[in-house]
């Protein structure tokens, strides 16, 4: 992975981060609109709590991704970007292009996923 590729991925990461932050603030303002009190009857209440749960889950996932993106940006600055955290081998640039915040190479990722089943 050369400097040029890193710069490109850094830009991509920053853009992704920006989009998540934008989405998160949109979710937050939407969340305000479905505060209890607005929904009057029982049917509306059920619907609004369902929507809240859904938004909460969504923002949780985004938050997780945000942490991973920040982590990747730090790595680019420290110059240890693109190295698998498990086996210390280089992560393929093809994989990094698809998932710039990947922590593990594809082999280790698959091992991890198998473990969690
Ligand atoms: Zn690995």
Is residue 79 within 8 Å of 9, Cβ to Cβ?
Answer: no
Averaged confidence pLDDT in the chain: 82
Cα–Cα nearest to 31, from 60, 52, 45: 52
Per the listing, tokens 């680019």 go with: 76
Please check the confidence at residue 42 and state whether its pLDDT lies above 70.
no
- CA 78 to ligand 1 centroid distance, Å: 19
Distance 20 CA to ligand 1 centre (A): 27
Tell me the DSSP string of the chain.
Answer: --HHHHHHHHHHHHHHHHHHHHHHHHHHHHHHHT-BTTB-SHHHHHHHHHHHHHHHHHHHHHHHHHHHHHHHHHHHHHT-TTB-TTT-PBPPHHHHHH-TT--S-HHHHHHHHHHT-
pLDDT exceeds cutoff 80 at 70 = yes
Compute the distance from residue 107 Cα to the ligand 1 centre, in Å: 6
- pLDDT 10s digits, 79-114: 889 999 999 999 999 999 999 999 999 999 999 999
* Topology (CATH level 3) of domain 3-115: 1.20.120
Q: Residue 102 and residue 66: Cα distance in Å, rounded?
A: 12
Q: Using alpha carbons only, give the angle 56, 57, 61 rounded to the nearest 5 degrees.
A: 115
Q: Residue 97 C-alpha to ligand 1 middle, in angstroms?
A: 16
The domain limits of the chain are 3-115
4 CA from centroid of ligand 1 (Å): 23
Instruction: Give the separation between CA 8 and CA 77, rounded to whole angstroms.
Output: 13
Task: Indicate the pTM of the whole model.
Answer: 0.70
């Amino acid at each position: 992975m050369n400097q040029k590729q890193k710069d490109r991925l850094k830009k991509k990461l920053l853009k992704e981060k920006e989009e998540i932050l934008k989405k998160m603030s949109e979710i937050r303002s939407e969340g305000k609109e479905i505060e209890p009190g607005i929904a009057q009857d029982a049917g509306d209440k059920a619907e609004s709590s369902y929507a809240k749960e859904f938004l909460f889950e969504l923002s949780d996932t985004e938050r997780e991704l945000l942490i991973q993106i920040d982590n990747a940006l730090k790595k680019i600055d420290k110059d240890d970007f693109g190295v698998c955290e498990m086996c210390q081998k280089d992560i393929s640039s093809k994989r990094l292009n698809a998932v710039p915040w990947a922590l593990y190479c594809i082999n280790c990722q698959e091992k991890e996923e198998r473990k969690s089943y």
